[in-house]
Each structure stands twice: as C-alpha cells, then as structure tokens.
RNA sequence: GGCCCCAUCGUCUAGUGGCCGAGGACACCACCCUCUCAAGGUGGCGACACGGGUUCGAAUCCCGUUGGGGCUGCCA
C-alpha cells in the first residue's frame, strides 16, 4: 500500500511586501503540512516580468522567516520555468486544446456575446502566432472538490476560451500554476477564496495535459476590512512588515492570524505554535470572511509581551529605544531602563509604546501633557502645598521605593488627601503625564537630584502662571 | 450584467437535530483591587438576517428571499 506524502505550497505573486492575507495563507499551508508531516513548498509566481524582482522576493522570505514559517523546498521561481510552460503550451496546441488568437482587447470586447465571454472566434482560423488561448469545452461541467466548501460546480458554458500564453510566448499564471502543481506533485492547494473562480480553468488545463489526479483544494475565507471588502494594498494597512515596525511580536501576529477562520478547541485563543500544529485541520476552517481587527491583535500582542522573560522584553525593546528615540541618544541608560522594564512590560501593548512610557527618564525635562498639567496642577488647589511638601520630604529621606511611598503617604495625610489624589501633581511634575509606571519606582530610578529639580521647576511654572 | 462564495453578539468565534431561554475572547460599561495607568477579579450590555419547508424537535438539514463579498485582464 502506497502512502502518499502530503505536499502543500504557498505561492505568492511578489506584488509588494507580504500582506496579512498572504501571511495567513502561508501559515495555514504550513500548519497543514506540519500537522500532516508533509512537505511545505515555497513557490514564487512571478511569470509577469514586472513582478520578478529579487528585492520583492527577498522581502517575502524575510517576513516568512520572521513569522517562523519555514519551508522545505524552494523558493521555486516560475520565471525560471519557462521551458516547462512552453512545452506544455505546445502540447496543448498540438492536441487541439489551444489555438492562437490575434484579437486585440477591443476585438475581444466586440466578440463577447451574451454572458459567456469571448466567443472563440479564432478557434479555427489556423493562426500560427499571437496569444495562445485554451479551448474550453462548450458542454459539461467541472467540479472543484473543496475541503472547506464542499463541491463547487462550474458549467462549462460559462467558461470562455482564456489566454494561457502571452503574445511574447510567456505563460500566464493559469498555465504556470497547472504545470507547476503537476510537476511538483502538489497534493493540496490551499489558497484564498479569490482564486476559487479560476480553479475550473486550471483543472481544465490539467485535464488536457493528461492529469488524472488533481490536488485537493481548500479555498480560505478572505480577510476583509471594516467595509467587508478584500484587504487592499491601497486603502488598508496590509504589510506584515509594517506591523513588525509598529511593535508587534511575530508570535502574537502568527497567533492572531491563525484565529482568522480557524479556532483551537476549548475556547482557547492564546495557543503555542506546537499546539496549533497538533490540532490544525483544514476541514475545520470556516468558509466565511473575517475582519482584520487590530484591537484584538493588540490585546493578544499585550499578552505575549507580558509573558516574555524580562531580559527578553528588554532586548526586544532596544530597537525602539535606539532608533529615533524621543531623547538625545547619549542620554539613554540601559541600566535605568532595565530597572523599570518590569513595570513597562505590563503596560505596553506594542513595543512601539515603550519609549513614551520611559521618556521622562532620559529627557532633561519631561514632555508635559498640558491637559494633565491643567487638571492635576494648574487647577488643583492643593498642588502647591503638595509640591512644597514633596520638595521638603524628598530632600533628605532615604532614597528607596518604600521610603518614598511612606513619606508621600504621610504628606497626603497631612493635607487630608488620599494618596491617589496627592501623588497626581507629583507625577505630572516628574513625568509630565498622568499615567505611567508606578510613581515611587520611577522616582527611585530617576534619582533625588533630578526629582527635586523637576519639583522646583513645576513650582516655578505654577507660581509664574498664577 | 453573468458565474461563484458567504450569512451566530459591534468584531473574531464555539455550536455539525434535543445538553442552547446560545458559550468564550476583543471592544464597551459598572464595580472590586490599587500611588496613576496597566494587569487581575466580578458583573453588565450584546447575536442565530428574513420567509417557507423537513422533523416529535432546528442556530444546526432543504428551498427561496434579502444582504454582503469574490471573479469576470495577454495581473496573480
């Protein structure tokens, strides 16, 4: 008994950086192949010379590696397989399954009668050059067996004679796709639903080429925007690389992507990749479109950030702290950041948020949120007394977190305020904001001198404005 | 226009004829915890598009309607 090994592939057209839809398709193919113990192939569909650029192809591979999606074979490049497509095209022509057509775009338009497209005018003109068209059968039907949608039937009367080879002799994707999937012995074709309508054409080509064992198909639901349209490069934020730059972790991105159309058992959502591989079944993928919800991505990213060992969090944050920081680069102090890292880690939903949570530590003067200043100092009747009190108390107390907490609580007491209220003006004076890491830890790492200086400056500003 | 796909809370989903007066998560609201914020805890809001069937019984099966989407290129 022969056991056929599963072979799946991700075959993107390098139209730019890898987008979230492509990444999800790659991920599902990868999960499927790994679950089945099969082979995962990467194939670049660059039959259009405009797309056959190394930098675009490198970008796709870089992003896949970042996501942890590795491949066993490839990348194969369709731009380098012209010979195979040419010989297939020749065979199709010789067997009467394809013919040359010299109709211009306008001619085709004029010859499109009714609802079934181009009427096949050139079928019997005996041309010896032009674009090569596949002679689609006029009767019968082709059934696509889809693992997610069941059988999908296409009436041949609705399939026009379509171009498989351009006038310049290069193959269009339908031909390349059919030939490659046959040559590369793909057993499963998992791709976006937008390709479902072209599947019967590929099947027809394969049949004409003598194929007797078509692959099993699975057309994944599209990922859509808030208007429920297919994600578009123009309107939507689709580049995975961009999410990376916005501070998302690859594990979080991958986890979120997996949740679009598929779901792990037992109401779990944060799932280690090994468990996904163990559980993933292509038949369980839902057929309906899914909205790409950045809010949820952020929530998941936050969970992954919090789960990181502190040292890893520090290391992962470095690029955001060292590249275009909001402070003079020479003022950054890794030891200081490490001291507050545990508190920052719990508050950041993306790594890109990290700098704004610690900027007051590396800036000569904090960036003041005017609304916060106004609320906690400008219009606060007790602000002056609290700033004075803090100045006095911090001047010679022990400089550690517990002591700062204690003397500030006492100060609040003396002013008849809850600590929560009393710390507000101090926080704004020191950090410039009303939110951030715990105050006493912040003061502790900031140091006595800078704390006192900032309190004095806040006092000066307050008195000069009143 | 034609062909095709899809249809459970705002969003992602669980649900495959009775366990569903529909469960979880994100978002939102309230409360608790608390030095702010976050995290965490508790509770709340909130959905089976509609109409026919089939069945003792339907979110689950069938048909239709409506709505949304994809494709319709010598792009992929």
Q: How far is the CA of A29 from the C1' of B14 (A)?
A: 23
Q: How confident is the model at residue A115 (pLDDT cuts 50, 70, 90)?
A: low
Find out whether A136 and A161 touch, Cβ atoms under 8 Å: yes
Higher per-residue pLDDT: A172 or A113: A172
Length of chain A: 466
User: HSE on the CB side for A125, CA within 13 Å?
Assistant: 15
Does A302 map to a domain? no
Residue A358 and residue A400 in one domain? no
Q: How far is the CA of A255 from the C1' of B48 (A)?
A: 27
- Which pLDDT belongs to residue A446? 96
- Which pLDDT belongs to residue A49? 81
**Which nucleotide comes closest to A299 if you measure CA to C1'?**
B26
Q: What pLDDT, in 10s, does the model give residues A312-368?
A: 999 999 999 999 999 999 999 999 999 999 999 999 999 999 999 999 999 999 999
CATH code for the domain in which residue A261 is found: 3.40.50.620
Instruction: Select from A239, A259, A294 the last residue of a domain.
Output: A294
What mean pLDDT is predicted for residues A278-283? 97
Does A41 map to a domain? yes
Residue A85 and residue A214 in one domain? yes
Residue A428 and residue A381 in one domain? yes
Chain-centroid distance, C-alpha A427: 37
**The token pair that represents A150 in the structure block:** 């069941």
Q: Which of A49-63, A142-156, A214-228, A343-357 has the lowest mean pLDDT?
A: A49-63
- Which pLDDT belongs to residue A455? 97
Residue A113 pLDDT exceeds 70: no
Find out whether A100 and A131 touch, Cβ atoms under 8 Å: yes
Contact residues for A205 (Cβ-Cβ < 8 A; gap 6+)? A92, A134, A164, A174, A175, A178, A179
Residue A316 and residue A276 in one domain? no
Does A299 map to a domain? no
Residue A454 and residue A402 in one domain? yes
- Residue closest to B14 C1′ by Cα: A267
The Cα A390–Cα A398 span in angstroms is 13
Residue written as tokens 């057993």?
A187
Does A96 map to a domain? yes
- Residue closest to B27 C1′ by Cα: A295
Residue A200 and residue A119 in one domain? yes
Cis peptide before A385 (omega within 30 of 0): no
- Protein-covered nucleotides on strand B (Cβ within 7 A): 1-8, 10-14, 16, 23-27, 35-40, 68-76
pTM of the model as a whole: 0.94
Domain count, chain A: 4
Residue A274 and residue A163 in one domain? no
Largest CA distance in chain A: 102
Residue A85 and residue A210 in one domain? yes
Residue A125 and residue A180 in one domain? yes
Instruction: Select from A362, A379, A403 the last residue of a domain.
Output: A362
Residue A101's SS3 state is strand
Does A383 map to a domain? yes
**Which nucleotide comes closest to A102 if you measure CA to C1'?**
B74
Does A301 map to a domain? no
Residue A1 pLDDT exceeds 50: no
Residue A33's SS3 state is helix
What mean pLDDT is predicted for residues A106-121? 74
- Which pLDDT belongs to residue A234? 86
What mean pLDDT is predicted for residues A413-436? 96
Higher per-residue pLDDT: A116 or A214: A214
Residue A116 pLDDT exceeds 80: no
Q: Which of A233, A295, A375, A421 is catalytic?
A: A233
Residue A233 is a catalytic residue? yes
Q: How confident is the model at residue A279 (pLDDT cuts 50, 70, 90)?
A: very high
What mean pLDDT is predicted for residues A388-407? 95
Residue A94 and residue A205 in one domain? yes
The Cα A44–Cα A78 span in angstroms is 6
Instruction: Select from A169, A202, A220 the last residue of a domain.
Output: A220
Residue A40 and residue A148 in one domain? no
Residue A444 and residue A393 in one domain? yes
Domain that holds residue A345: 308-362
- DSSP per-residue codes, A383-426: HHHHHHHHHHHHHHS--SHHHHHHHHHHHHHHTT--HHHHHHHH
Does A300 map to a domain? no
- What is the average pLDDT score of chain A? 94
**Which nucleotide comes closest to A409 if you measure CA to C1'?**
B35
Q: How far is the CA of A305 from the C1' of B72 (A)?
A: 45
Does A402 map to a domain? yes
Percentages of chain A per state (helix, strand, coil), in multiples of 5: 55, 10, 35
ipTM summary value: 0.96
């Amino acid at each position: 008994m022969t056991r056929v090994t599963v072979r799946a592939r991700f075959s993107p057209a390098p139209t730019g950086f890898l987008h979230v839809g492509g990444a999800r398709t790659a991920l599902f193919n990868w999960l499927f192949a790994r679950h089945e113990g099969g082979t995962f192939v990467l194939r670049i569909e660059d039959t259009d010379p405009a797309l056959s650029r190394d930098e675009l192809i490198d970008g796709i591979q870089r992003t896949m590696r970042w996501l942890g999606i590795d491949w066993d074979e490839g990348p194969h490049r369709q731009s380098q397989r012209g010979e195979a497509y040419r010989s297939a095209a020749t065979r199709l022509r010789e067997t009467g399954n394809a013919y040359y057509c010299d109709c211009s775009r306008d001619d085709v338009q004029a010859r499109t009668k009714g609802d079934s497209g181009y009427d096949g005018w050139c079928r019997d003109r005996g041309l010896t050059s032009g674009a090569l068209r596949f002679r689609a059968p006029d009767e019968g039907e082709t059934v696509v067996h889809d693992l997610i949608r069941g059988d999908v039937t296409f009436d041949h009367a609705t399939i026009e004679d379509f171009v498989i080879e351009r006038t310049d002799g290069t193959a269009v994707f339908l031909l390349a796709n059919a030939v490659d999937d046959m040559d590369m012995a793909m057993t499963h074709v998992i791709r976006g639903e937008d390709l479902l309508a072209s599947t019967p054409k590929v099947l027809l080509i394969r049949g004409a080429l003598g194929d007797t064992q078509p692959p099993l198909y699975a057309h994944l639901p599209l990922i859509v925007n808030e208007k429920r349209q297919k994600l578009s490069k123009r309107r939507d934020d689709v580049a995975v690389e961009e999410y990376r730059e916005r501070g998302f972790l690859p594990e979080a991105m991958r986890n979120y992507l997996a949740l679009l159309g598929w779901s792990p058992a037992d109401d779990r959502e944060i799932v280690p990749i090994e468990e996904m591989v163990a559980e993933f079944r292509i038949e369980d993928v839902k057929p309906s479109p899914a909205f790409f919800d950045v809010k949820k991505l952020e929530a998941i990213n936050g969970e992954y950030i919090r789960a990181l060992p502190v040292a890893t969090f520090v290391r992962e944050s470095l690029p955001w702290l060292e590249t275009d920081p909001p402070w003079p680069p020479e003022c950054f102090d890794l030891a200081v950041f490490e001291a507050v890292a545990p508190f920052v880690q719990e508050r950041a939903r993306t790594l890109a948020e990290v700098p704004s949570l610690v900027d007051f530590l590396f800036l000569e003067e904090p960036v003041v949120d005017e609304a916060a200043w106004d609320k906690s100092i400008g219009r606060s009747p007790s602000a002056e007394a609290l700033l004075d009190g803090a100045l006095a108390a911090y001047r010679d107390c022990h400089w550690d977190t517990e002591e700062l907490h204690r003397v500030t609580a006492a100060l609040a007491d003396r002013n008849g305020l809850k600590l929560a209220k009393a710390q507000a003006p101090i926080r704004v004076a020191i950090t410039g904001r009303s939110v951030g890491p715990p105050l006493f830890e912040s003061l502790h790492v900031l140091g006595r001198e800078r704390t006192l200086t900032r309190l004095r400056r806040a006092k000066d500003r307050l008195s000069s404005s009143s």
